[in-house]
Amino acid sequence: MKAFILIICCLFLSTFIHSQTCKDVPLTKGQKFKVEMNTYPIPIQVFGAALYTMKKKEKNAKIDELKANVLSGKTASTKTTMESSVTNVTVNGNQTEYELTTLISGVEYKSYIACNSDSFIIFRGKGFQPTVYNKDTIGFSILGAQIIPNNLKVGDNVPGYSDLGQTYPATENRKVSHVFRESDPGLMGSYTTYYGKVTSNVAVTSTAKFIKLYQGGTVLGEEDFTISGKTYKSYLIGSEVWTKFRNDIDVAVEEQTYFNNPALSKKINKNFQKAYDKGGKRSESLINEMTGANEQGYTVSYKEEWIVPGLGAVKTINYDQYGCIQLIITLTAIE
Protein backbone atom coordinates (compact mmCIF):
# COMPACT_ATOMS: atom_id res chain seq x y z
CA MET A 1 0.00 0.00 0.00
CA LYS A 2 2.83 2.40 0.88
CA ALA A 3 4.61 1.74 -2.42
CA PHE A 4 1.35 2.28 -4.30
CA ILE A 5 0.79 5.65 -2.59
CA LEU A 6 4.37 6.74 -3.36
CA ILE A 7 3.77 6.00 -7.04
CA ILE A 8 0.58 8.09 -6.92
CA CYS A 9 2.61 10.93 -5.46
CA CYS A 10 5.16 10.58 -8.25
CA LEU A 11 2.34 10.85 -10.79
CA PHE A 12 1.05 13.95 -9.00
CA LEU A 13 4.49 15.52 -9.26
CA SER A 14 4.22 15.15 -13.01
CA THR A 15 1.00 17.19 -13.10
CA PHE A 16 1.93 20.44 -11.42
CA ILE A 17 4.38 21.74 -14.00
CA HIS A 18 2.25 23.08 -16.83
CA SER A 19 2.02 26.29 -18.79
CA GLN A 20 -0.74 28.56 -19.93
CA THR A 21 1.26 29.10 -23.11
CA CYS A 22 4.82 28.02 -23.79
CA LYS A 23 6.12 31.57 -23.72
CA ASP A 24 4.66 32.08 -20.24
CA VAL A 25 6.41 29.08 -18.68
CA PRO A 26 8.19 30.21 -15.49
CA LEU A 27 10.30 27.04 -15.34
CA THR A 28 14.00 26.48 -15.76
CA LYS A 29 16.22 23.44 -15.75
CA GLY A 30 17.19 22.54 -12.19
CA GLN A 31 14.09 24.10 -10.59
CA LYS A 32 12.75 22.07 -7.64
CA PHE A 33 9.29 21.45 -6.26
CA LYS A 34 8.19 20.06 -2.91
CA VAL A 35 4.94 18.32 -2.11
CA GLU A 36 3.28 17.11 1.07
CA MET A 37 1.28 13.91 0.94
CA ASN A 38 -1.29 12.93 3.59
CA THR A 39 -2.77 9.44 3.48
CA TYR A 40 -5.79 8.33 5.51
CA PRO A 41 -6.97 4.86 6.56
CA ILE A 42 -9.59 3.40 4.23
CA PRO A 43 -12.82 1.87 5.64
CA ILE A 44 -11.59 -1.74 5.32
CA GLN A 45 -8.53 -0.85 7.43
CA VAL A 46 -10.68 0.76 10.12
CA PHE A 47 -13.61 -1.66 10.27
CA GLY A 48 -12.06 -4.87 8.93
CA ALA A 49 -13.78 -7.48 6.79
CA ALA A 50 -16.98 -6.98 8.83
CA LEU A 51 -17.61 -3.91 6.65
CA TYR A 52 -18.67 -6.17 3.77
CA THR A 53 -21.27 -8.01 5.83
CA MET A 54 -22.84 -4.96 7.50
CA LYS A 55 -26.35 -3.95 6.62
CA LYS A 56 -26.54 -0.85 4.44
CA LYS A 57 -27.78 1.46 7.22
CA GLU A 58 -25.04 0.37 9.63
CA LYS A 59 -22.34 0.59 6.92
CA ASN A 60 -23.41 4.11 5.91
CA ALA A 61 -23.34 5.25 9.55
CA LYS A 62 -19.81 3.86 10.06
CA ILE A 63 -18.54 5.48 6.87
CA ASP A 64 -20.14 8.84 7.72
CA GLU A 65 -18.43 8.69 11.11
CA LEU A 66 -15.05 8.04 9.47
CA LYS A 67 -15.56 10.94 7.05
CA ALA A 68 -16.36 13.28 9.92
CA ASN A 69 -13.32 12.12 11.91
CA VAL A 70 -11.01 12.74 8.94
CA LEU A 71 -12.39 16.23 8.28
CA SER A 72 -12.21 17.18 11.96
CA GLY A 73 -8.67 15.87 12.36
CA LYS A 74 -9.70 13.21 14.89
CA THR A 75 -8.42 10.55 12.50
CA ALA A 76 -4.77 11.37 11.90
CA SER A 77 -3.07 11.10 8.53
CA THR A 78 0.31 9.67 7.64
CA LYS A 79 2.44 12.48 6.27
CA THR A 80 5.20 12.16 3.65
CA THR A 81 7.18 14.85 1.81
CA MET A 82 8.78 14.44 -1.59
CA GLU A 83 10.84 16.51 -4.00
CA SER A 84 11.02 16.68 -7.77
CA SER A 85 13.05 18.71 -10.26
CA VAL A 86 13.07 19.81 -13.89
CA THR A 87 15.95 17.86 -15.45
CA ASN A 88 15.58 18.82 -19.11
CA VAL A 89 13.76 21.29 -21.39
CA THR A 90 13.31 20.62 -25.13
CA VAL A 91 11.84 23.09 -27.66
CA ASN A 92 10.43 21.75 -30.93
CA GLY A 93 8.72 24.42 -33.03
CA ASN A 94 5.78 25.84 -31.07
CA GLN A 95 5.87 22.98 -28.54
CA THR A 96 8.00 22.81 -25.40
CA GLU A 97 8.61 19.61 -23.45
CA TYR A 98 9.75 19.39 -19.83
CA GLU A 99 11.33 16.32 -18.29
CA LEU A 100 10.53 15.87 -14.61
CA THR A 101 12.53 13.52 -12.37
CA THR A 102 11.43 12.21 -8.98
CA LEU A 103 13.57 9.96 -6.76
CA ILE A 104 11.66 7.28 -4.81
CA SER A 105 13.53 4.69 -2.73
CA GLY A 106 16.68 5.23 -4.77
CA VAL A 107 14.88 4.79 -8.12
CA GLU A 108 14.42 7.65 -10.60
CA TYR A 109 10.95 8.10 -12.12
CA LYS A 110 10.63 10.33 -15.17
CA SER A 111 7.54 12.02 -16.53
CA TYR A 112 7.03 14.62 -19.23
CA ILE A 113 4.88 17.66 -19.91
CA ALA A 114 4.41 19.21 -23.34
CA CYS A 115 2.77 22.57 -23.98
CA ASN A 116 1.64 24.51 -27.02
CA SER A 117 -0.64 27.46 -27.74
CA ASP A 118 -3.83 25.43 -27.09
CA SER A 119 -3.17 23.11 -24.18
CA PHE A 120 -0.68 21.28 -22.01
CA ILE A 121 -0.31 17.53 -22.12
CA ILE A 122 0.84 15.37 -19.21
CA PHE A 123 2.77 12.19 -20.02
CA ARG A 124 3.22 10.30 -16.75
CA GLY A 125 5.25 7.77 -18.70
CA LYS A 126 6.01 7.44 -22.39
CA GLY A 127 4.86 4.26 -24.09
CA PHE A 128 5.27 0.79 -22.58
CA GLN A 129 6.09 0.97 -18.84
CA PRO A 130 7.60 -2.23 -17.37
CA THR A 131 6.54 -3.26 -13.87
CA VAL A 132 9.62 -4.38 -11.93
CA TYR A 133 9.61 -6.23 -8.60
CA ASN A 134 12.81 -7.49 -6.96
CA LYS A 135 14.70 -6.77 -10.20
CA ASP A 136 12.29 -8.98 -12.14
CA THR A 137 9.92 -7.62 -14.80
CA ILE A 138 6.54 -9.01 -13.81
CA GLY A 139 4.24 -7.00 -16.08
CA PHE A 140 3.59 -3.70 -17.80
CA SER A 141 1.35 -0.66 -17.87
CA ILE A 142 0.40 2.00 -20.42
CA LEU A 143 -0.51 5.38 -18.94
CA GLY A 144 -2.82 7.69 -20.85
CA ALA A 145 -2.02 11.32 -21.64
CA GLN A 146 -3.97 13.98 -19.75
CA ILE A 147 -4.85 17.07 -21.80
CA ILE A 148 -5.73 20.35 -20.06
CA PRO A 149 -6.85 23.39 -22.10
CA ASN A 150 -4.78 26.51 -21.46
CA ASN A 151 -7.77 28.76 -20.87
CA LEU A 152 -10.14 27.56 -18.14
CA LYS A 153 -13.35 28.96 -16.71
CA VAL A 154 -16.08 27.69 -14.41
CA GLY A 155 -18.38 25.27 -16.22
CA ASP A 156 -15.78 24.11 -18.76
CA ASN A 157 -15.33 20.39 -19.43
CA VAL A 158 -11.88 18.78 -19.75
CA PRO A 159 -11.13 15.53 -21.65
CA GLY A 160 -10.81 12.16 -19.93
CA TYR A 161 -8.01 9.61 -20.32
CA SER A 162 -7.24 6.03 -19.26
CA ASP A 163 -4.56 3.69 -17.88
CA LEU A 164 -4.24 -0.06 -18.29
CA GLY A 165 -1.82 -2.77 -17.32
CA GLN A 166 -1.33 -6.37 -16.34
CA THR A 167 1.13 -8.84 -14.88
CA TYR A 168 2.58 -11.64 -16.96
CA PRO A 169 1.05 -15.07 -16.26
CA ALA A 170 2.66 -16.71 -13.22
CA THR A 171 2.17 -20.42 -12.50
CA GLU A 172 2.45 -22.15 -9.14
CA ASN A 173 2.26 -25.92 -8.74
CA ARG A 174 0.52 -27.19 -5.61
CA LYS A 175 -0.58 -30.42 -4.03
CA VAL A 176 -4.19 -30.09 -2.93
CA SER A 177 -6.23 -32.45 -0.79
CA HIS A 178 -9.76 -33.06 -2.12
CA VAL A 179 -12.78 -34.81 -0.66
CA PHE A 180 -14.73 -36.84 -3.23
CA ARG A 181 -17.90 -38.89 -3.39
CA GLU A 182 -18.60 -40.86 -6.57
CA SER A 183 -20.79 -43.81 -7.58
CA ASP A 184 -20.24 -46.56 -10.12
CA PRO A 185 -23.21 -48.49 -11.57
CA GLY A 186 -23.11 -52.22 -11.10
CA LEU A 187 -25.19 -55.19 -12.22
CA MET A 188 -28.93 -55.50 -11.59
CA GLY A 189 -29.28 -51.77 -10.80
CA SER A 190 -26.81 -51.81 -7.97
CA TYR A 191 -24.30 -49.00 -7.28
CA THR A 192 -20.97 -48.88 -5.57
CA THR A 193 -20.28 -45.58 -3.80
CA TYR A 194 -16.74 -44.41 -3.22
CA TYR A 195 -15.93 -41.54 -0.90
CA GLY A 196 -12.86 -40.30 0.88
CA LYS A 197 -9.91 -37.96 0.36
CA VAL A 198 -7.21 -37.88 -2.31
CA THR A 199 -4.30 -35.56 -3.10
CA SER A 200 -4.04 -34.13 -6.60
CA ASN A 201 -1.46 -32.02 -8.43
CA VAL A 202 -2.86 -28.61 -9.36
CA ALA A 203 -1.27 -25.88 -11.53
CA VAL A 204 -2.57 -22.41 -10.61
CA THR A 205 -1.85 -19.69 -13.19
CA SER A 206 -2.77 -16.11 -12.30
CA THR A 207 -2.75 -12.90 -14.34
CA ALA A 208 -3.67 -9.61 -12.67
CA LYS A 209 -5.15 -6.88 -14.88
CA PHE A 210 -6.39 -3.36 -14.29
CA ILE A 211 -8.01 -0.56 -16.25
CA LYS A 212 -8.60 2.92 -14.90
CA LEU A 213 -10.90 5.34 -16.72
CA TYR A 214 -10.50 8.98 -15.72
CA GLN A 215 -13.82 10.42 -16.84
CA GLY A 216 -13.97 13.89 -18.35
CA GLY A 217 -13.97 16.51 -15.58
CA THR A 218 -15.81 19.78 -14.99
CA VAL A 219 -14.45 23.09 -13.69
CA LEU A 220 -16.51 23.62 -10.51
CA GLY A 221 -15.05 26.80 -9.03
CA GLU A 222 -12.08 29.08 -8.35
CA GLU A 223 -9.80 29.36 -5.29
CA ASP A 224 -6.62 31.27 -4.43
CA PHE A 225 -3.47 29.39 -3.31
CA THR A 226 -0.30 30.89 -1.82
CA ILE A 227 2.92 28.99 -2.53
CA SER A 228 6.37 30.24 -1.50
CA GLY A 229 4.97 33.70 -0.86
CA LYS A 230 3.13 34.05 -4.18
CA THR A 231 -0.66 33.82 -4.63
CA TYR A 232 -2.15 31.97 -7.61
CA LYS A 233 -5.74 31.60 -8.86
CA SER A 234 -6.68 27.93 -9.22
CA TYR A 235 -9.58 26.17 -10.92
CA LEU A 236 -11.22 23.25 -9.13
CA ILE A 237 -11.85 20.29 -11.47
CA GLY A 238 -13.94 17.36 -10.26
CA SER A 239 -14.07 14.01 -12.05
CA GLU A 240 -15.05 10.38 -11.52
CA VAL A 241 -12.45 7.60 -11.74
CA TRP A 242 -13.70 4.18 -12.83
CA THR A 243 -11.37 1.34 -11.83
CA LYS A 244 -11.58 -2.36 -12.55
CA PHE A 245 -9.11 -4.83 -11.07
CA ARG A 246 -9.28 -8.41 -12.21
CA ASN A 247 -7.21 -11.43 -11.30
CA ASP A 248 -7.70 -14.18 -13.86
CA ILE A 249 -6.94 -17.53 -12.25
CA ASP A 250 -6.72 -20.69 -14.30
CA VAL A 251 -6.64 -23.91 -12.30
CA ALA A 252 -5.60 -27.07 -14.13
CA VAL A 253 -6.01 -30.39 -12.33
CA GLU A 254 -3.47 -32.99 -13.46
CA GLU A 255 -5.08 -36.16 -14.75
CA GLN A 256 -4.26 -38.90 -12.26
CA THR A 257 -5.36 -42.46 -11.63
CA TYR A 258 -6.70 -43.23 -8.16
CA PHE A 259 -7.29 -46.71 -6.68
CA ASN A 260 -6.16 -48.29 -9.98
CA ASN A 261 -9.60 -47.40 -11.38
CA PRO A 262 -9.31 -45.24 -14.56
CA ALA A 263 -13.07 -44.66 -14.96
CA LEU A 264 -13.51 -43.51 -11.35
CA SER A 265 -10.37 -41.38 -11.58
CA LYS A 266 -11.67 -39.60 -14.68
CA LYS A 267 -14.89 -38.67 -12.87
CA ILE A 268 -12.99 -37.43 -9.81
CA ASN A 269 -10.65 -35.29 -11.93
CA LYS A 270 -13.53 -33.88 -13.97
CA ASN A 271 -15.55 -32.90 -10.91
CA PHE A 272 -12.53 -31.27 -9.24
CA GLN A 273 -11.96 -29.13 -12.37
CA LYS A 274 -15.64 -28.21 -12.57
CA ALA A 275 -15.63 -27.12 -8.92
CA TYR A 276 -12.66 -24.82 -9.52
CA ASP A 277 -14.29 -23.25 -12.59
CA LYS A 278 -17.56 -22.56 -10.75
CA GLY A 279 -15.69 -21.23 -7.73
CA GLY A 280 -13.86 -18.64 -9.85
CA LYS A 281 -17.12 -17.26 -11.26
CA ARG A 282 -18.68 -17.05 -7.78
CA SER A 283 -15.59 -15.26 -6.44
CA GLU A 284 -15.69 -12.55 -9.14
CA SER A 285 -19.38 -11.88 -8.50
CA LEU A 286 -18.81 -11.74 -4.73
CA ILE A 287 -15.89 -9.32 -5.07
CA ASN A 288 -17.98 -6.95 -7.22
CA GLU A 289 -20.75 -7.06 -4.63
CA MET A 290 -18.39 -6.43 -1.72
CA THR A 291 -16.56 -3.51 -3.35
CA GLY A 292 -19.70 -1.77 -4.56
CA ALA A 293 -18.82 -2.11 -8.27
CA ASN A 294 -21.35 -0.79 -10.77
CA GLU A 295 -23.17 -2.86 -13.40
CA GLN A 296 -20.13 -2.70 -15.68
CA GLY A 297 -17.89 -4.10 -12.93
CA TYR A 298 -16.08 -0.81 -12.21
CA THR A 299 -15.51 0.69 -8.77
CA VAL A 300 -16.31 4.41 -9.02
CA SER A 301 -14.24 6.85 -6.97
CA TYR A 302 -13.82 10.62 -7.18
CA LYS A 303 -10.97 13.06 -7.64
CA GLU A 304 -10.66 16.82 -7.11
CA GLU A 305 -7.77 18.81 -8.60
CA TRP A 306 -6.98 22.49 -8.13
CA ILE A 307 -5.32 23.58 -11.40
CA VAL A 308 -3.32 26.83 -11.69
CA PRO A 309 -2.80 27.92 -15.32
CA GLY A 310 0.93 28.20 -15.86
CA LEU A 311 1.67 25.95 -12.86
CA GLY A 312 -0.76 23.03 -12.81
CA ALA A 313 -2.29 20.89 -10.04
CA VAL A 314 -1.36 22.53 -6.75
CA LYS A 315 -3.66 20.28 -4.75
CA THR A 316 -5.32 16.90 -5.33
CA ILE A 317 -7.83 15.01 -3.16
CA ASN A 318 -8.65 11.37 -3.92
CA TYR A 319 -11.85 9.82 -2.50
CA ASP A 320 -12.74 6.13 -2.42
CA GLN A 321 -15.98 4.57 -3.65
CA TYR A 322 -17.65 5.41 -0.33
CA GLY A 323 -16.71 9.10 -0.48
CA CYS A 324 -14.00 8.81 2.20
CA ILE A 325 -10.81 10.83 1.71
CA GLN A 326 -7.90 8.53 0.86
CA LEU A 327 -5.17 10.94 -0.09
CA ILE A 328 -4.44 14.68 -0.11
CA ILE A 329 -1.39 15.91 -2.02
CA THR A 330 -0.36 19.58 -1.88
CA LEU A 331 2.38 21.53 -3.63
CA THR A 332 4.07 23.35 -0.75
CA ALA A 333 7.16 25.04 -2.23
CA ILE A 334 8.78 26.13 -5.49
CA GLU A 335 12.53 26.75 -5.36
- Domain shared by 234 and 272, yes or no: yes
Which of 106, 109, 112 is closest to 27 using CA atoms? 112
- Domain shared by 68 and 93, yes or no: no
Residue 8: per-residue pLDDT? 46
Residue 170 has, within 13 A of its CA and on its CB side, a CA count of 11
Quote the CA–CA distance of 150 and 19 in Å, as a whole number: 7
Q: Is 194 among the domain residues?
A: no
Quote the CA–CA distance of 301 and 211 in Å, as a whole number: 13
5: left (phi over 0), alpha (psi -120 to 50) or beta: alpha
Residue 155: per-residue pLDDT? 94
The CATH number that applies at residue 113 is 2.40.360
Output DSSP code: residue 126: -
Amino acid at residue number 322: Y
One pLDDT digit (tens) per residue for the chain, 335 residues: 444 444 444 444 444 443 334 545 556 788 888 989 999 988 888 888 788 788 888 988 888 888 888 888 888 889 988 888 989 988 887 788 888 888 776 677 888 888 877 887 888 888 888 888 887 888 999 999 888 888 889 999 999 999 999 999 999 898 888 787 777 666 566 677 777 787 888 888 889 899 999 999 999 999 999 998 888 889 999 999 999 988 887 878 887 777 777 777 788 778 777 776 766 555 566 666 666 778 888 989 999 999 887 677 899 999 988 888 899 999 999 88
Quote the CA–CA distance of 48 and 46 in Å, as a whole number: 6
Q: Is 136 among the domain residues?
A: no
- Domain shared by 226 and 271, yes or no: yes
Q: Residue 261, SS3? A: coil
The beta-strand segments (E) located in 153-309 are 157-158, 161-167, 170-185, 191-214, 217-227, 230-253, 299-308
Q: Is 282 among the domain residues?
A: yes
- Domain shared by 119 and 226, yes or no: yes
For residue 246, with 0-12 CB atoms within 10 Å meaning exposed, 13-18 middle and 19 or more buried, which class applies?
A: middle
Which residue range forms the structural domain that includes residue 71? 41-75
- Domain shared by 71 and 82, yes or no: no
- Domain shared by 256 and 269, yes or no: yes
- Domain shared by 305 and 324, yes or no: yes
Q: Contact 29/86 with Cβ under 8 angstroms?
A: yes
- Domain shared by 249 and 318, yes or no: yes
Q: Is 308 among the domain residues?
A: yes
- Domain shared by 241 and 324, yes or no: yes
- The total domain count for the chain is 2
Q: Is 254 among the domain residues?
A: yes
Residue 17: per-residue pLDDT? 41
Q: Is 182 among the domain residues?
A: no
